[in-house]
Amino acid sequence: MDIGAIQIEKKQVVPLINKILNPIIFVLLGLAFGSIMIIAVGFNPITVYSKMISYSFFRLRGISGSIKAGLPLMLCGLSVSVAFKMNLNNIGAEGQYAMGAILGGWFALFGPEMPIMLKLIVMFLLCAAGGALWAMIAAALKAYWNVNETIVTLMLNYVALLFLDYLCYGPWMAKKQTTAISESIPKGMHLPDIGNTGINAGILIAVLIAVFLYIYLRMTTAGYQMEVIRNSRKTAEYAGINVRKHILMVLGLSGAIAGLAGFVQVTGVVHRVQAQLPGGSGYTGIVIAYLSQFNPIAVIIVSILFGGLVNSCAAVQIMGVPSQIATMLQGSIMIFVIAGEFFNHYKVSFNSAKRDRYYKIDRNQHKEIEGVKQ
Amino acid sequence: MEKSVILEMKDITKRFGKTLANDHINLRLYQGEIHALLGENGAGKSTLMNILLGIYRPNSGEIFYKGKRVSIKSPKHAVELGIGMVHQHFELIPTLSVAENIFLSIGQCKFILNKKNMEETIARYAEKFGLAVDPAAKVWQLSVGEQQRVEIMKLLCRDCEIMILDEPSAVLTPQESKEMFRTLRKMADEGKTVIFISHKMSEVMEHADRITVLKGGKVEDEMLAKDATVERLTKAVVGLRSLEKTVRSPIKENSSLLLEIEHLCVHNDKGIDALKDVSFSLRQGEIFAIAGVAGNGQRELAEALAGLRKVKSGCIRMNGRDITKSNARQRMEMGISFIPEDRLQMGLIPGMNMKQNIILKKFREPEYSRFGFLRNKSIKAVTEKYVETYDIKNGGIELPVSMMSGGNQQKLLVAREIQCDPVLIIAAYPVRGLDIGASEAIHRILMEQRNRGACVLLISEELDEIFDMSDRVAVLCDGKVMGIRNTSETDYDEIGRLMSGETA
């Protein structure tokens, strides 16, 4: 591409150092941009930022809070990442999350009596199943009729969220409650914290899934086949790979992971089923997946940072910074980091004077030639 | 008539990173001549032409046009000077008419189009240069040969003085290319200068006035066409490297029937009949060529045989067993290998590395994976063995194969496809776009497979290749088999006529 004096070239290989350094630089730029807004409302950006950072990342309670806030984001981020590894745009993590919470929550609230550990495990499986089945509606449409999965997963979000609303405002709504929220699930099913750290045990689930995905994508024949399909569906078919099966499998897996976000949120944080439970995590998960470049391990780290960002933006409100500004800060950091991704994959160069020097000499002669032609 | 120099390139050097694509090249074009540019892939032909077109700028060197020094800054500038090119892949809009395409290209698109005026202008040029084109026809209705004429017409309408054609005969039937060269000659007689890139020595000697051979970015030889001999050209193109002629063992008399295809009908992607009642049979240990201009059902035939395309009616039998309904994986396991025509669309995965490409069809085997886990060590070992056995040049087995040259990509693909000792190899245009060295290597491998007892179904539009390689040849035109001949009992003329649809 050539836009005037600026030339843009696609990079063949992105060095690791760029991959790491680039987001950091753009986070800093995002903060710099955000400081304009902070100054505009009459605060000192340095004190605001240092408050934010110290609140979320330099206290044990802050860190555990960041992890807690980041937990559903991790699972949604992992969900989006695994689907994207086959070029499937699952933007339905939000709905799969809700369906996981509905199916698992139903069992926790109304399921039969049984040993509490067993009940917890069944709930875990049902949450995964709820998300998986919801995603597989889109997968089946994609696999058999090549229906665009982006649109289907998005639309199914509304269905799932409204269904959750219906349940929480209607049949499941707790007595003596004015908000759309169910009764509490049995005490024994509350996911505990790890020791005294205040870090919820749900993190173990997320980390185990991330490690599993990392190995699955890199070292197994299934991961290899996914990569072949991602690169060229035609070649995959040529190699006798069952593309349909993989679409169902991968979107199912993706949905299951999103469904588990429902599990950790219901058992670890809310302890009830609530209307609007996902609260946008499914969409933030998309951003996290992109920022992590679909690397499962990176998703964990980026999610914690995001959780911290959410919490610390809340914290600066205590200082008197308007909540809108806090949300704008979140947004500006996100936008900068995403925009920064561009520079990881494209090389931008300016036509230097040196390059043109050789040609300048005969610009006049060029005019002469044109004269000759006319 | 004494011919004057119209364009001279002096000491042109172009560097891409560390590679020297053009190394002090001197090229002189005379007005009214047909100049051929010959050389292997990577010899620097395209780079040189791209410099002339203003797409690249040379690192050093000078270009003189009509005696004046110029620097060609952009393709638009090249057009203004009167230099134009017909690319191998045509740049036409299928839904527009010929006239509309031409006027689009010369930028005469006023708000209200004067169609009549457009068509008259084109008809005038058509008559002058003997280019038979119907200006009102839509481009999608035209044959490849006619589309090429439209491309040439575009250059004429822009008053180009120098016309560059990139392998113009590659897409044409022998008859069509003869006619195309007649047109080029007529244009040269009118004072236009034609320069064409080619791989084929015979056409270069027959149709050019002068020949320049590039090798390794340098001018290796330059001669008048009348002084050219096959020996001299071969030596200039490939150097002292000797080309081993493939040895053909006599066909076994009692070789058994391998594959029978009966009344095969297959749809193309648009759901239109691409193969119409095709029947033939293949024997073990023979090379069976499918001749014909591309797009006459070859792709559909190959894909149907490889299990990648549904058969509408008819049947395919292998060793007497009906395999019509089996899928691609089952066909693979039966020993059918497939070298597809567009290796980067299907066959290889350009974004993945050599190791990942080599295990594409065999990752399930215990040698490469155990309990669903890939065995990296043995994959690496096998890859290194491939590189050595087939002399595949690469920048490292971890780099994406898109960074290898076309010839090496094809060697990799062919090597993978013959590794499992297949009984049938479907090879669609296996040497298309490859240079002489790589072509020879691929042909040698295929001939070895034939001699081993495998059957090779060679889909090709190059008559030289067909007559060199095959034992029998079937001609496909418009989805129908026009005839099947023993290669030793037919000639170029007959096959050429069958290719254009004449029934014998």
How much of chain B exceeds pLDDT 70, in percent?
Answer: 94
Specify the range with the lowest mean pLDDT, choosing from A39-48, A122-131, B115-124, B147-156: B115-124
pLDDT computed for residue B241 by the predictor: 56
Q: Is B163 left (phi over 0), alpha (psi -120 to 50) or beta?
A: beta
How much of chain A exceeds pLDDT 70, in percent?
Answer: 89
Q: For residue A32, what are the contacts with CB-CB under 8 A and spacing of at least 6?
A: none
| Residue that finishes a domain, picked among B238, B256, B275 | B238
Using alpha carbons, list the distances in angstroms from residue A339 to A30, A91, A325, A333, B335: 10, 20, 21, 10, 50
- Residue B95 — φ and ψ, nearest 5°? -85, -10
B221 and B365 in a single domain? The answer is: no
Nearest to B484 by CA among B313, B465, B247, B466: B466
CB atoms within 10 A of CB B140: 11
What is the widest separation between alpha-carbon atoms in chain A? 97
Dist. CA B128–CA B348, nearest whole Å:
46
**Six token digits for residue B270:** 């648009």
A146 touches chain B (CB under 8 A): no
A372 and B66 in contact by Cβ < 8 A?
yes
A224 and B361 in contact by Cβ < 8 A?
no
Residues of A (331-360) whose Cβ lies below 8 Å from B: 358-359
Mean pLDDT of A236-250: 94
SS (H, E, C) B30-88: ECCCEEEEECCCCCCHHHHHHHHCCCCCCCEEEEEECCEEECCCCHHHHHHHCEEEECC
Q: For residue B20, what are the contacts with CB-CB under 8 A and spacing of at least 6?
A: B13, B14, B217
Of the pLDDT bands very low, low, confident and very high (cuts 50, 70, 90), residue A373 is: very low
pLDDT computed for residue A73 by the predictor: 94
- Residue B481 — φ and ψ, nearest 5°? -80, 115
Strand partners, B69: B64
- Residue B210 belongs to a domain: yes
- Residues in A touching B351 (Cβ below 8 Å): 231
pLDDT of B377 over the 60 cut = yes
B70 and A235 in contact by Cβ < 8 A?
no
pLDDT computed for residue A363 by the predictor: 41
Dist. CA B51–CA B77, nearest whole Å:
12
Strand partners, B288: B457, B472
Of A219, A231, A241, the CB nearest to B352: A231
B372 and A222 in contact by Cβ < 8 A?
yes
Collapsed DSSP state (helix, strand, coil) of residue A7: strand
- Where are the domains positioned within chain A? 44-319
Classify residue A238 as exposed, middle or buried by CB count within 10 Å of its CB (0-12, 13-18, 19+).
Answer: buried
pLDDT of B503 over the 70 cut = no
A365 touches chain B (CB under 8 A): yes
pLDDT computed for residue B504 by the predictor: 52
B352 and A221 in contact by Cβ < 8 A?
no
**Residue from A1, A364, A369, A374 to probe the interface with B (highest B Cβ count within 10 Å):** A369
pLDDT of A20 over the 60 cut = yes
Report the CATH number at residue B17.
3.40.50.300
In A, minimum Cα distance to B303 occurs at A238
B352 and B234 in a single domain? The answer is: no
| Residue that finishes a domain, picked among B419, B446, B465 | B419
How much of chain A exceeds pLDDT 90, in percent?
Answer: 47
- Residues in A touching B77 (Cβ below 8 Å): 366
Of the pLDDT bands very low, low, confident and very high (cuts 50, 70, 90), residue B502 is: confident
Dist. CA A277–CA B444, nearest whole Å:
66
Of B80, B328, B349, the CB nearest to A232: B349
Degrees, nearest 5: CA angle B30-B35-B36: 160
A371 touches chain B (CB under 8 A): no
- Residues in A touching B306 (Cβ below 8 Å): 238
In B, minimum Cα distance to A242 occurs at B329
For A297-322, b/e burial (b = at least 16 CB within 10 A) is ebbbebbbbbbbbbbbbbbbeeeebe
- Residue B29 — φ and ψ, nearest 5°? -115, 135
pLDDT of B171 over the 60 cut = yes
Dist. CA B39–CA A153, nearest whole Å:
53
pLDDT of A370 over the 90 cut = no
Beta carbons of A137 and A218 less than 8 angstroms apart: no
Name the most confidently modeled range: A222-226, A286-290, A291-295, B195-199. A222-226
DSSP letter (8 states) at residue B89: S
pLDDT computed for residue A175 by the predictor: 84
pLDDT computed for residue A105 by the predictor: 94
- Residues in A touching B65 (Cβ below 8 Å): 369
Specify the range with the lowest mean pLDDT, choosing from A319-333, B287-301, B415-429: A319-333
pLDDT of A357 over the 50 cut = no
What's chain A's length in residues? 374
CA distance B347 to chain A (A): 5
Q: What pTM does this model have?
A: 0.74
Strand partners, B37: B197, B212
pLDDT computed for residue A58 by the predictor: 80
In B, minimum Cα distance to A215 occurs at B373
Dist. CA A354–CA A110, nearest whole Å:
76
In A, minimum Cα distance to B331 occurs at A240
Nearest to B161 by CA among B188, B182, B183, B185: B188
**Six token digits for residue B154:** 């575009």
In this structure, the strands spanning B210-215 and B34-38 are parallel
Of the pLDDT bands very low, low, confident and very high (cuts 50, 70, 90), residue A3 is: very low
B372 and A372 in contact by Cβ < 8 A?
no
> How many structural domains are present in chain B?
2
Beta carbons of A231 and B344 less than 8 angstroms apart: no
pLDDT of A341 over the 80 cut = no
Size of interface A-B (CB pairs under 8 A): 90
Nearest to A14 by CA among A358, A361, A371, A346: A346
CA distance A95 to chain B (A): 31
Mean pLDDT of A179-197: 85
Of A220, A359, A373, the CB nearest to B373: A220
pLDDT computed for residue A192 by the predictor: 85
Which ranges of B321-405 would DSSP assign to H, the alpha helix? 328-334, 354-358, 376-389
In A, minimum Cα distance to B402 occurs at A12
B151 and B13 in a single domain? The answer is: yes
Of the pLDDT bands very low, low, confident and very high (cuts 50, 70, 90), residue A360 is: very low
Classify residue B216 as exposed, middle or buried by CB count within 10 Å of its CB (0-12, 13-18, 19+).
Answer: middle
* CA-based end-to-end distance of chain B: 45
pLDDT of A154 over the 90 cut = yes
Collapsed DSSP state (helix, strand, coil) of residue B174: helix
**Residue from A85, A362, A366 to probe the interface with B (highest B Cβ count within 10 Å):** A366
| pLDDT tens digits, B346-361 | 889 988 999 999 999 9
Classify residue B49 as exposed, middle or buried by CB count within 10 Å of its CB (0-12, 13-18, 19+).
Answer: buried
**Six token digits for residue B457:** 């179904």
For A15-28, b/e burial (b = at least 16 CB within 10 A) is eeeeeeebbeebbe
AA identity, residue A361: I
Rounded (10°) angle between helices A243-264 and A221-231: 110
Dist. CA B494–CA A109, nearest whole Å:
82
For A183-210, b/e burial (b = at least 16 CB within 10 A) is bebeeebbbebeeeeebbebbebbeebb
CA distance A329 to chain B (A): 37
pLDDT computed for residue A155 by the predictor: 95
pLDDT of A263 over the 80 cut = yes
Dist. CA B449–CA B438, nearest whole Å:
17
What is the widest separation between alpha-carbon atoms in chain B? 78
- Residues in B touching A241 (Cβ below 8 Å): 329
**Residue from B71, B299, B355 to probe the interface with A (highest A Cβ count within 10 Å):** B71
AA identity, residue B251: I
CA distance A236 to chain B (A): 8
Counting Cα atoms < 13 Å in the Cβ hemisphere of B269 gives 2
A47 touches chain B (CB under 8 A): no
A2 touches chain B (CB under 8 A): no
pLDDT computed for residue A143 by the predictor: 93
Specify the range with the lowest mean pLDDT, choosing from A81-85, A252-256, A316-320, B332-336: A316-320
For the residues of A154-196, what is the DSSP string, one character each?
HHHHHHHHHHHHHHHHTTTBPTT-SSSBBPPPPGGGSPPEETT
- Residue B267 belongs to a domain: no
DSSP letter (8 states) at residue B141: G
Nearest to B162 by CA among B251, B85, B255: B85
Q: Provide ipTM, 2 decimals.
A: 0.75
* Range list of β-strands (E), A195-320: 199-200
A222 touches chain B (CB under 8 A): yes
**Residue from A217, A220, A238 to probe the interface with B (highest B Cβ count within 10 Å):** A238
**Residue from B83, B357, B362, B374 to probe the interface with A (highest A Cβ count within 10 Å):** B374
Mean pLDDT of B80-100: 86
Of the pLDDT bands very low, low, confident and very high (cuts 50, 70, 90), residue A365 is: very low
Using alpha carbons, list the distances in angstroms from residue A196 to A61, A199, A226: 10, 8, 41
**Residue from A219, A232, A364 to probe the interface with B (highest B Cβ count within 10 Å):** A232
B360 and B229 in a single domain? The answer is: no
How is domain A44-319 classified at the CATH fold level? ABC transporter involved in vitamin B12 uptake, BtuC (1.10.3470)
CA distance B9 to chain A (A): 15
Q: For residue A166, what are the contacts with CB-CB under 8 A and spacing of at least 6?
A: none
Dist. CA B458–CA B471, nearest whole Å:
10
A1 touches chain B (CB under 8 A): no
- Residues in A touching B345 (Cβ below 8 Å): 232, 234-235
- Residues in B touching A369 (Cβ below 8 Å): 65-66, 68, 70, 81
B403 and A238 in contact by Cβ < 8 A?
no
- Residues in A touching B340 (Cβ below 8 Å): 238
pLDDT of A285 over the 90 cut = yes
A237 touches chain B (CB under 8 A): yes
- Mean pLDDT for chain A? 85
**Six token digits for residue B157:** 């309408």
DSSP letter (8 states) at residue A265: I
pLDDT computed for residue B111 by the predictor: 63
Dist. CA B43–CA B23, nearest whole Å:
10
- Residues in A touching B373 (Cβ below 8 Å): 219-221
In A, minimum Cα distance to B74 occurs at A2
pLDDT of B113 over the 80 cut = no
pLDDT computed for residue A354 by the predictor: 41
Degrees, nearest 5: CA angle B378-B380-B386: 105
CB atoms within 10 A of CB B463: 19
pLDDT of A152 over the 90 cut = yes
Dist. CA B168–CA B86, nearest whole Å:
8
Dist. CA B351–CA B357, nearest whole Å:
10
Mean pLDDT of A274-298: 90
A373 touches chain B (CB under 8 A): yes
B363 and A227 in contact by Cβ < 8 A?
no
Of the pLDDT bands very low, low, confident and very high (cuts 50, 70, 90), residue A16 is: confident
Domain assignment of residue B390, given as a range: 348-419
Of the pLDDT bands very low, low, confident and very high (cuts 50, 70, 90), residue B19 is: confident
| Residue that finishes a domain, picked among B238, B270, B296 | B238
